[in-house]
Structures are given as structure tokens and as C-alpha cells.
């Protein structure tokens, strides 16, 4: 945009706004950015919209600002972050003037698709898991891979959150979700519980997974375990990838989206829809089938 000389009303406005901005507890960088963005906005109003004052109670300001948003994206190829920063600065200017700019939505970042392991990568990973000597490490990665719990939920599990019988099992995560344990997860947990008792007895934290000192393992500790085993399989992994792989497998096995959303703890079905669609309504069958797919 060619530099435009603003009319008196808009020039006075930007000077008044700058004086007020200097009284706020903003960094010098933020203040400069707000002034620069609002000068560009006011120049747009005058040059493109023919607006020489903001004192117009009848004007649809949300429409004007949305037009400016499109102008930034199309004419200046502004990034989503840049557009949102401009909208925040304009909102502050309108608050200064005392004008309701109406409803102006921020630009939404597109949700990335879940990254899940391919069937071949899962086989590589499981080969590395079963070569791992530590029963704790095996139990952690197989639990995440076969329940889809988050890394924080895994670290927060207590012994009392687990129930295992001869042919069934379940975990209860801290938000109250109950997730069935398939055969793979049950066997891994049973072996860890045996080894845990041999090493620590009753003299350790109530946490299901503990560090070498017998204290609750941290999410960092779990992340290191996942990445270590992933490295052995020549894979760059995280606990989130294992969670996404679990939920993707559930969907691929033909399970209903509402069931997968319940297991994954998703707040909206749209989150689950990223894993595509499926059909099945029995949680125990769904989780048991997951063990066969991995």
C-alpha cells in the first residue's frame, strides 16, 4: 500500500491512541507493533473505504474489519498469525475510542492430521518393544499404544486405577474415562506389576509407573522411554504418535466414531472425525481387536 496522508480526524486519533498506549504495561516492541498495524488499518479505511472518521454509530464495523482481513490475506499474503495480530491491535484501538467493533473471528489454524504409524512401522516398533528387557518400558508403550491415553494420563495412573482379572481388565483415567484393557496390555501390565513388587515391595509411591527411586514417573521420563524404543526401531516417535496410532487403528477396524471419541476423551466428534469413519459399538470387542491389529 502506498503511504497515505491521513485526514485530521484519523491523524489526531492515532496520536491520542499512542499517548494512551504509552501508559499501558506493554513492551516497547508491542507498542510499536500496535501503532504500526493501526496506522496501516487507518490508511486502508481512508484510501480503500473512503472513511475519514471512526465516529459513525451507523457503520457496520465488523463488515469493514472483515474486509480488511481479506485485504491483508489477498493483497499482502499476510500469514494467519499476522492477520490475527492486526485484529488484536485494531480491537485495542476500538476499545480506546469506545466503539463496539462487533463480532470479528480470529483466523483459525488448520488442525493437522494425526500422525499414526503405518502397519509396517507398527511391526518394526513392536519388534523393538519385545526386544526390550525392561517390563516397565514395555508396559508403558504397550499401554499407550493399546488404550490411546495421553502421556499425562499415563503418568498420573495409580495402582488403584487398574483392574485386571483372568479374562478382562480396565483402567480409569483421571477424567473418569474407563478404558478396557486388551490381552496385550493386560499381559504387559501384569509382568510390570510383578517386577514392581519384587523391586519396591510396598515401599514406593502409589503411582502405577515409578522411576528408579520409587517415585511417580514424569511425563519427560515416559517420553524418553517411548523415544528410546522408537530409536531402536529406527523411528522418530512420541507418545502422541502412539496415541494417534491407537485411535487410527480403532477407526480402521470399523468402530463407531462416538465410541472412539469416548475412548480418546475427545470433547467433540470433529476431533475424532480426523481419523475417518467406522462402525462398532462394543468397547471390549473394539479394544481386544486392537491387540490383534498391532
Q: Which pLDDT does position 238 carry in this prediction? A: 92
Q: How far is CA 178 from the centre of its chain?
A: 22
What pLDDT sits at residue 105? Answer: 78
Q: How is the chain split among helix, strand and coil, in percent rounded to 5?
A: 60, 5, 35
Which fold does the domain 119-293 belong to in CATH?
hpI Integrase; Chain A (1.10.443)
Specify the domain boundaries for CATH 1.10.443.10 within the chain: 119-293
Q: What is the pLDDT of residues 230-254, one digit of tens each?
A: 999 999 899 999 999 999 999 988 8
Say if CB 279 and CB 239 are below 8 A apart. Answer: no
Closest C-alpha to 252, from 225, 211, 288, 290: 290
- Report the predicted TM-score, pTM, of the whole model to 2 decimal places: 0.60
Domain span(s) for CATH 1.10.150 in the chain:
8-97
- The average pLDDT across 186-213 equals 92
pLDDT of amino acid 2: 44
Tens-place pLDDT, residues 82-93: 888 899 889 889
Beta-sheet strand order (sheet of 169-172): 162-164, 169-172, 178-180
* Distance, CA of 193 to CA of 196 (rounded, Å): 5
Query: Are 150 and 271 in contact, with CB atoms under 8 Å apart?
Result: no
Q: Which CATH architecture has domain 8-97?
A: Orthogonal Bundle (1.10)
What value does the CA radius of gyration of the chain take, rounded to a whole number of Å? Answer: 28
Contacts of 15 (CB under 8 A, 6+ apart): none
The pLDDT of 69-84, averaged and rounded, is 86
pLDDT band at 109 (very low <50, low <70, confident <90, very high): low
Amino acid at each position: 500500500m502506498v503511504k497515505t496522508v491521513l485526514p485530521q480526524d484519523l491523524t489526531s486519533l492515532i496520536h491520542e491512541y499512542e499517548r494512551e498506549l504509552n501508559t499501558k504495561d506493554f513492551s516497547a516492541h508491542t507498542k510499536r507493533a500496535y501503532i504500526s498495524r493501526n496506522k496501516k488499518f487507518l490508511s486502508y479505511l481512508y484510501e480503500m473505504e473512503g472513511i475519514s472518521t471512526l465516529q459513525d454509530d451507523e457503520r457496520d464495523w465488523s463488515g469493514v474489519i472483515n474486509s480488511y482481513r481479506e485485504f491483508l490475506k489477498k493483497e499482502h499474503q499476510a500469514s494467519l498469525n499476522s492477520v490475527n495480530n492486526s485484529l488484536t491491535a485494531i480491537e485495542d484501538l476500538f476499545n480506546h475510542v469506545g466503539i463496539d467493533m462487533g463480532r470479528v473471528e480470529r483466523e483459525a489454524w488448520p488442525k493437522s492430521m494425526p500422525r499414526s504409524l503405518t502397519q509396517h512401522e507398527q511391526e518394526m516398533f513392536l519388534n523393538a518393544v519385545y526386544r526390550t528387557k525392561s517390563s516397565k518400558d514395555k508396559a508403558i508403550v504397550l499401554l499407550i499404544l493399546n488404550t490411546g491415553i495421553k502421556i499425562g494420563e499415563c503418568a498420573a495412573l495409580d495402582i488403584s486405577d487398574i483392574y485386571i482379572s483372568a479374562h478382562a481388565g480396565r483402567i480409569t483415567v483421571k477424567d473418569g474415562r474407563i478404558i478396557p484393557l486388551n490381552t496385550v496390555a493386560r499381559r504387559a501390565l501384569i509382568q510390570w506389576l510383578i517386577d514392581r513388587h519384587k523391586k519396591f515391595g510396598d515401599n514406593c509411591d502409589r503411582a502405577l509407573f515409578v522411576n528408579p527411586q520409587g517415585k511417580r514417573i514424569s511425563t519427560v521420563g515416559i517420553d524418553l522411554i517411548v523415544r528410546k524404543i522408537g530409536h531402536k526401531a529406527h523411528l522418530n516417535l512420541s507418545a502422541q504418535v502412539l496415541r494417534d496410532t491407537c485411535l487410527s487403528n480403532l477407526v480402521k477396524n470399523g468402530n463407531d466414531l462416538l465410541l472412539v471419541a469416548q475412548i480418546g476423551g475427545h470433547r467433540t466428534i470433529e476431533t475424532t472425525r480426523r481419523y475417518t469413519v467406522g462402525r462398532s459399538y462394543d468397547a471390549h470387542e473394539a479394544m481386544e481387536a486392537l491387540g490383534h491389529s498391532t
